[in-house]
C-alpha cells in the first residue's frame, strides 16, 4: 500500500510543480519585458514634461503634463521642424530598401538556385564587405560626391544606402531561396516558364515572409544610420537621426525636447514593424529552422 500511495502523491505533485514552473516563467518573461520597456516608458514620460521637470533627478509621476515639446519639434513654436528630416528619412530608407530588394532578388536567385560557379565564395565576399568600417570608405565617398556635386542630395543618399544594404539583402534572400526545392523550378522550366516568371510566380510567393524580414532589416539599418547622413547631408537632405543630434547643445536644457523628438522619429519604424509583424515572425522562424 505504501508504494501505491507514494505514487499517487508524486502524480499529484507534478501538476503543482508544472503550475509553479509556468508561473515563474511568466513572471520572468514580464520582468524581461519591463527591463526592455523601461527606457522607452521613461523617454515617453520625459517628452510630456517641462525642461525643468525633465532635468530634475527625481521624475515626479504627478508632475504637470505638457505638449509644448511636440509643438516645438514640429516647428509650431520654434524655427526647426521634424517634417523635413522625417520625409527625407522615409525617402532614403524605404526607397533604398525597395531598390536594394529589386536588385537582390535576381542576384540571390542566381547564387542559390542557379548553377553559378563558386557561389559560396561570392556570398562570403559580399558578407566580408560589411566587415569594413564605414568610416574607412567615407572620405572617398565624400570626395566623389563633391566632385559630382551630389552633397546634400537625397538621390546620392539613396544610392549610398543601396550599396550599404545590398550585401545583407542578397545574403539573406539567398539563404531563404536555398530552401526552395529545385524540383519545383525544374517542373516550371519544363512547362515553358521563363526565369522571370519563375521568380515572380514561384520564388517570391514562397519566400514572402523572408522578403518582409529582409526589407525590415534594411529599413531599420537605413533609418538609424547616422555617420553617412551626417557627412553627406546639410539642410536639404537632413535625415531624422541627424535632426535628433541637433537637440544636444551646451546651452540650456534639451532633455524633454530630445525625448519628444526620439518618440516621433521611432514611430514610423514601429508602425512598419507592427504592420509586417506576421510576415516578419514567419520569416525569422524560417531562418531559424534552416
Contacts of 244 (CB under 8 A, 6+ apart): 258, 261, 262, 265
| pLDDT over 90 (residue 156) | yes
Residue 78 domain-assigned (yes or no): no
Domain identity same for 204 and 61: no
Say how far apart CA 230 and CA 245 lie, in whole Å: 10
Give the span between the Cα atoms of 273 and 100, in whole angstroms: 19
Q: Above 60 in pLDDT, residue 100?
A: yes
Cell numbers representing residue 161 in the block: 544606402
Report pLDDT digits (tens) over 189-218: 777 777 788 888 888 888 888 888 899 889
Angstrom distance (rounded) from CA 150 to CA 207: 36
pLDDT in tens, 43-79: 888 888 888 777 776 666 667 788 888 888 887 655 5
Is 46 a domain residue? yes
Range of the domain at 144: 83-289
**Number of domains, the chain:** 2
State the chain's mean pLDDT as an integer.
Answer: 81
- The residue out of 73, 101, 119 marking a domain boundary is 73
In a domain, 233, yes or no: yes
7 and 144 share one domain: no
**DSSP string across 219-281:** HHHHHT--HHHHHH--SSS--HHHHHHTT--SSS--HHHHHHHHHHHHHHHHHHHHHTHHHHH
- pLDDT of res. 197: 83
pLDDT digits 0-9 by tens, 230-261? 899 888 888 999 988 888 776 667 888 888 88
Q: Mean pLDDT over residues 262-282, rounded?
A: 78
Residue 239 lies in a domain: yes
Q: Check pLDDT > 70 for residue 173.
A: yes
242 and 172: one domain? yes
Give the end of a domain, one of 73, 104, 136.
73
How high is the pLDDT of residue 1?
46
Q: How confident is the model at residue 290 (pLDDT cuts 50, 70, 90)?
A: very low
pLDDT value at residue 73: 84
Give the end of a domain, one of 73, 100, 134.
Answer: 73
Q: What is the dihedral of CA 197, 198, 203, 208, to 10 degrees?
A: 20
505638457: which residue's cell? Answer: 66
Q: Are 221 and 168 in contact (CB under 8 A)?
A: yes
Q: Which pLDDT tens digit goes with each residue over 89-99? A: 999 999 999 99
Q: Is the pLDDT of residue 36 over 60?
A: yes
Residues 196 and 246 in one domain: yes
Give every CB contact of residue 250 below 8 A, 6+ residues apart in sequence.
none
On whether both 98 and 230 belong to a single domain, the answer is yes
Amino acid at each position: 500500500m505504501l508504494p501505491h500511495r507514494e505514487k499517487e502523491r508524486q502524480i499529484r505533485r507534478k501538476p503543482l510543480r508544472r503550475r509553479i514552473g509556468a508561473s515563474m516563467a511568466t513572471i520572468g518573461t514580464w520582468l524581461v519585458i519591463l527591463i526592455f520597456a523601461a527606457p522607452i516608458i521613461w523617454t515617453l514620460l520625459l517628452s510630456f514634461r517641462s525642461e525643468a521637470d525633465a532635468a530634475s533627478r527625481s521624475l515626479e509621476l504627478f508632475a504637470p503634463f505638457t505638449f509644448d515639446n511636440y509643438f516645438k519639434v514640429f516647428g509650431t513654436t520654434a524655427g526647426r521642424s521634424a517634417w523635413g528630416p522625417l520625409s527625407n528619412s522615409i525617402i532614403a530608407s524605404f526607397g533604398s530598401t525597395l531598390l536594394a530588394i529589386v536588385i537582390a532578388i535576381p542576384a540571390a536567385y542566381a547564387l542559390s538556385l542557379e548553377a553559378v560557379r563558386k557561389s559560396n565564395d561570392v556570398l562570403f565576399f559580399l558578407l566580408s564587405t560589411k566587415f569594413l568600417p564605414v568610416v574607412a570608405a567615407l572620405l572617398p565617398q565624400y570626395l566623389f560626391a563633391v566632385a559630382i556635386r551630389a552633397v546634400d542630395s537625397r538621390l546620392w543618399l539613396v544610392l549610398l544606402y543601396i550599396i550599404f544594404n545590398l550585401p545583407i539583402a542578397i545574403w539573406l534572400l539567398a539563404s531563404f531561396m536555398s530552401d526552395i526545392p529545385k524540383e519545383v523550378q525544374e517542373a516550371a522550366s519544363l512547362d515553358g516558364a521563363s526565369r522571370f516568371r519563375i521568380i515572380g510566380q514561384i520564388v517570391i510567393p514562397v519566400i514572402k515572409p523572408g522578403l518582409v524580414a529582409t526589407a525590415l532589416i534594411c529599413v531599420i539599418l537605413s533609418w538609424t544610420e547616422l555617420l553617412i547622413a551626417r557627412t553627406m547631408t546639410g539642410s536639404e537632405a537632413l535625415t531624422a537621426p541627424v535632426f535628433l543630434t541637433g537637440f544636444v547643445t551646451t546651452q540650456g536644457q534639451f532633455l524633454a525636447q530630445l525625448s519628444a523628438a526620439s518618440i516621433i522619429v521611432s514611430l514610423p519604424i514601429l508602425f512598419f514593424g507592427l504592420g509586417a509583424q506576421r510576415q516578419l515572425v514567419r520569416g525569422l522562424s524560417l531562418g531559424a529552422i534552416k
